[in-house]
Homo-oligomer: A and B are copies of this chain.
Amino acid sequence: MAHRRRDNRRSRIRHAATAPHWLRIKNPYPPIAQFTEDEIEAIHVTSLELLRDKGIRVLSAEARALYAAAGAEVNQDTLMVRFDPGMLLDAVAQAPASFLMHGRSPDRWFEVGGNHLVFATVGGPPHYSDLEGGRRAGTLDTFKDLLRLAQTYDVLHLTTPMVEPQDIPIHVRHLHMTQAVVALTDKPTFIYSRGREAVSDALNILRISLGLSPSDFEERVYCYTVVNANSPLQLDELMCAGIIDFAKARQAMILTPFTLAGAMAPITIPGALAQQNAEALAGIALSQIVRPGAPVVYGGFTSNVDMKSGAPAFGTPEYVKAAFASGQLARRYQLPYRTSNVNASNAPDAQSAYESQMACWGAIMGGCNILLHGAGWLEGGLTASLEKFIIDVEMLQMFASLMEPVECNTDTLAKAAFDEIEPGGHFFGTQHTLQRYENAFYTPLLSDWSNFETWKEKGSLDATQRANLIARDALRNFIPPALDAARDEEINAFIRERTAAGGAQLTA
């Protein structure tokens, strides 16, 4: 009996990794508020006054012209763009409160907005690390391994540029990255705003992988980019081009000011949030000026620096408060809200776990819709860690399970079960238990609940060591999603052609 049970459980663990109910997670808890409505209004008003009186410096002539045509006041000497609050809010109000995103497989769709919650992998680190090789420059091979893991776990909805493949020349890097994405995953993905040619190339590869014409591609949202303001109060050429290109292609963009309190933002949380809000609204307005209704997400990334060293800190109490408050601000404009699973640890250790947990609780209980950097982020975002990826998947699966409501009815109140037991007895053998034990509780991927003696016999492996083994096992057993051979060949031809033409110029 014990053996039969163990075998059942093992097959269920495999299944759990691709549990279909995690494709569309709804958060049943009302979001936690950090500030009163009046205080949120004060932050809102301060950000509008900032944009009206000081404005934001816009380095792109095309964006300045778009802003000016929409009624903003542009100073061509200082490059400052100033906004009438009414005009700004009218533009922001064009953005949809929610939208659908789609992957290549028909079941890979989900909603962004409302109380829907989606998880994305880590984006952007230059370094990769694992227990075998330590920390080193990211490569295309390590990028591919992380893509395979991203595809393996259904709790991850969106992929990202998980590590920078530094072994690929920069002018063709976007070609090989996007090819790897569509070869190894079928989930909606991220595309860097690294210049118009690179964006166009990547969108083309993605479009070919989906077998769509350019006009059909615009009908649905298949990918997204992240636009970071050059805080404080500046938008550069590349970022403006990203907003314009993604709005035109009707793909999603996340406007995320990088507001570290005490460095690129005021040292006080309300001040940092006022700046975040001003920068986010200015960018969102541009997207709606280009294409009213373009899918856009309010990004919050306010944290604090260590005032001793200037180093950014993540998953701090201040980070959590800012995450709660940013959700309030996003909902103030009826926009989907993005925040992150972040930490400042240099190792996939206890610090990385508790800082990540703080960040995740701030995010999820703050009502976030897209949790970016959900799996693999280490070292303040400078490293993608193989082991942290698995630790994070476990944590995200736990959150996904937490989001599942508990039914409270005659069956679950279990009065019948009490008739089966004696005081001081146990419920293991009751009908009530036997009917439910297979799926009663969350089954962990990484957590080891064996007793000390069993754990010791198995080698006394800590969670980080076990995470490494789980990742290696997943990589060995990886099966890539189907990709039509003709589309694959078309992508290869496209890349040959673009490479022969010299790749992409990395300018706006």
Contact = CB atoms under 8 A, between A and B. Distances in A.
Interface in A326-361: 344-358, 361
Nearest to A231: B424
Given A316-B441, A358-B357, A391-B354, A271 B412 contact: yes
Contact of A271 (B5, B307, B357, B413): B413
Interface in A202-236: 230, 232-234
A17 interface: no
B346 A349 contact: no
Interface in A21-46: 29, 32, 34-35, 39, 42-43, 46
Contacts of A348: 350
A417 interface: yes
A425 to B, nearest CB: 7
A501 interface: no
Interface stretch (A140-148, A178-186, A455-463): A455-463
Nearest to A433: B267
Given A345-B448, A361-B361, A427-B263, A464 B414 contact: no
Nearest to A312: B449
A425 B54 CA distance: 14
A241 B273 CA distance: 56
A54 B232 contact: no
A312 to B, nearest CB: 8
Interface stretch (A188-196, A394-402, A482-490): A394-402
A272 B414 CA distance: 8
A464 B467 CA distance: 17
Contacts of A46: 413, 415
Interface string A291-335: 000000000000010111111110011101100000000000000
Contacts of A130: none
B441 A42 contact: no
Contacts of A108: none
A440 B268 contact: yes
B417 A266 contact: yes
Contacts of A449: 306, 309, 311-313, 344, 380
Query: How many of these chains are in the complex?
Result: 2
- Scoring A271, A383, A419, A446 by chain B CB atoms within 10 A of each residue's CB, the highest score goes to A271
A437 B346 contact: no
A346 B394 contact: no
Contact of A450 (B311, B383, B398, B424): B311
A317 B360 CA distance: 14
Nearest to A394: B354
Interface in A80-95: 80
B428 A262 contact: yes
A411 B351 contact: no
A272 to B, nearest CB: 8
A70 B197 CA distance: 84
A310 B46 CA distance: 56
A232 B411 CA distance: 18
A42 B320 contact: no
Contacts of A49: 415
A290 interface: no
A299 B383 CA distance: 42
A379 B440 contact: no
A50 B415 contact: yes
A365 B448 CA distance: 26
A124 B323 CA distance: 37
Contacts of A285: none
Given A270-B408, A417-B266, A423-B56, A350 B464 contact: yes
A419 B399 CA distance: 42
B347 A460 contact: yes
A308 B414 CA distance: 21
A269 interface: yes
B354 A43 contact: no
A354 to B, nearest CB: 4
A440 B307 contact: yes
A418 interface: yes
A168 interface: no
Given A32-B365, A317-B399, A347-B460, 17 more contacts: A5-B307, A32-B32, A49-B415, A233-B418, A234-B423, A267-B436, A267-B437, A274-B413, A304-B440, A304-B441, A313-B441, A317-B398, A317-B404, A321-B402, A349-B463, A351-B448, A361-B361
29 contacts: A39-B408, A46-B413, A50-B418, A56-B423, A232-B423, A232-B426, A233-B424, A234-B423, A261-B441, A263-B426, A264-B426, A268-B413, A269-B412, A270-B409, A270-B412, A274-B415, A306-B441, A309-B449, A311-B449, A312-B449, A313-B441, A317-B399, A317-B442, A353-B353, A353-B357, A354-B395, A354-B398, A380-B449, A383-B452
